[in-house]
Amino acid sequence: MDRRRSHGRRTADGEAAGCDRDRGDLAGARTAWLPAHLEYERLGAAHDAFGDADGEINGTDAGLPDGVHDKDFVGFHRVEYGLWHGRSAGALKVPATALAKAVTALRDSWAQTRMNPAQLGLRAHEILENAVQFELTGRTDYGSGSNLATARANLDGTREVLSRLRPLLATRYPELPSLEGQLDRAQDTLDGFRRGGAWTPLDRLSRTRREDVDAVLGDLVERLASVATLFDPRRTV
């Protein structure tokens, strides 16, 4: 992954959202919020290497005493909550500025960050496992209704990890063609919920469609558990 380029795009998108907010154009800020957030979500393979920055950029209100009103609720989801719950541009200035600062700090420090390649198999599994746990349950929806878009970005992140592992998978994982077919099926399923730049909110899916999404991503998580096991470092005495 060219993470430096991805961080640059995300920063530019974040700055665009900030400019809209500063002009009082909250509709424009809402439009700019989703592309910026999805850029971050596509970097799922690297999130473990971000340390505390991940919480500052993409944390939730889980475990915070005052929930969405807690002073420690920050990042994309804090801005999302404000944008979709009638907060003024002035009220959003502090959290939006903090988000831009956190993203810029991560971008500037990334050249010195090292990832453990032995963890890639595990990350391929965890990215979509988290998508099923948090996105398909709506636990990370703070008003934008973009959980399905986020799950689609997570799928992109998983594909990126697998592309790095493919030379080894091709010789060690006979189920690779079936896995790739299921990835295509999941992509087609999720893309079916996008109309232009708008995504269907999770709570507007019919029960049948909700079950379809759960089934296709749940199956992928099970398949990717085998990939994680395959690349689990083995220690010998």
Give 48-116 as a DSSP string.
GGGTHHHHHHH--STT-TTGGGSTT--SHHHHHHHHTTT--HHHHHHHHHHHHHHHHHHHHHGGG----
CATH architecture group of domain 3-112: Up-down Bundle (1.20)
Tell me the CA distances in angstroms from 156 to 43, 76, 183, 206, one per residue in order: 9, 19, 10, 25
Element (H, E) at 140: none
Task: Give how far the C-alpha of residue 89 lies from the chain's centroid of Cα atoms, to the nearest Å.
Answer: 25
Place of tokens 């970005």: 153
Q: Which stretches of the chain are DSSP H helices? A: 3-22, 26-41, 52-58, 76-83, 89-109, 120-130, 147-172, 176-191, 207-230
Q: Do domains 3-112 and 117-230 have the same CATH topology?
A: yes
pLDDT of residue 119: 85
The helix-helix angle for 26-41 and 147-172 (nearest 10°) equals 20
* For the chain, domain boundaries: 3-112, 117-230
Q: Kindly state the average pLDDT of the residues 2-10.
A: 39
pLDDT of residue 50: 79
Quickly count: other Cβ atoms within 10 Å of residue 23's Cβ.
Answer: 11
Name the pTM for this structure: 0.87
Pick the CATH number of 117-230 from 1.20.120.550, 1.20.1420.20, 1.10.10.10, 3.20.20.100: 1.20.1420.20
Q: How confident is the model at residue 17 (pLDDT cuts 50, 70, 90)?
A: low
Whether 101 contacts 26, CB under 8 Å: no
Q: What average pLDDT is seen over the chain?
A: 88
